[in-house]
Amino acid sequence: MCFKQWYQRRVRGAIVVTDAMAAMGLGDGQHKIGAQDVTVCGKQAVLTGTNTLAGSVVTMPSCVAHFKKHSGCSLVEAVNCATKHPAELLKCTQLYGTLDFGSVADFLLIDSDVNVLATFISGDMVYKSEKLSSFSI
């Protein structure tokens, strides 16, 4: 069964994750991760000088966008699969996975293509994209 058909059967509680390693966000090239020399190329990292996969450098927004595209779900459903559903599984929805009163106010502002526009930790903005430079939040 293909991914889209699986999702359309409404398998409840789908969860989006990333297996990204510490080299995520460092860009293509040579990096040292712990004691290992790693070469990043695109969305994967290999042990330098080998074809041995060291891990992924795929971001969570990229995973959400991929899930949305290939499942045919809405952006809200895809975001829930990366936020609300994991919090429900871990039984920590009183603090995480929602923006309810009393929850930890860690959240992102994203556009319809899942590009991160701003990042908030405990309600404080810690990152603001150039796309938002003309807005004050």
DSSP code per residue over the chain: --HHHHHHTT-TT------B-TTTTS-SEEEEETTEEEEEETTEEEETTS--EEEE---HHHHHHHHHHHH---HHHHHHHHTHHHHHHTT-TTTSSS--TTS---EEEE-TT--EEEEEETTEEEEE-GGGTT---
19 carries an active-site annotation: yes
Would you name the residues annotated as active-site residues?
19
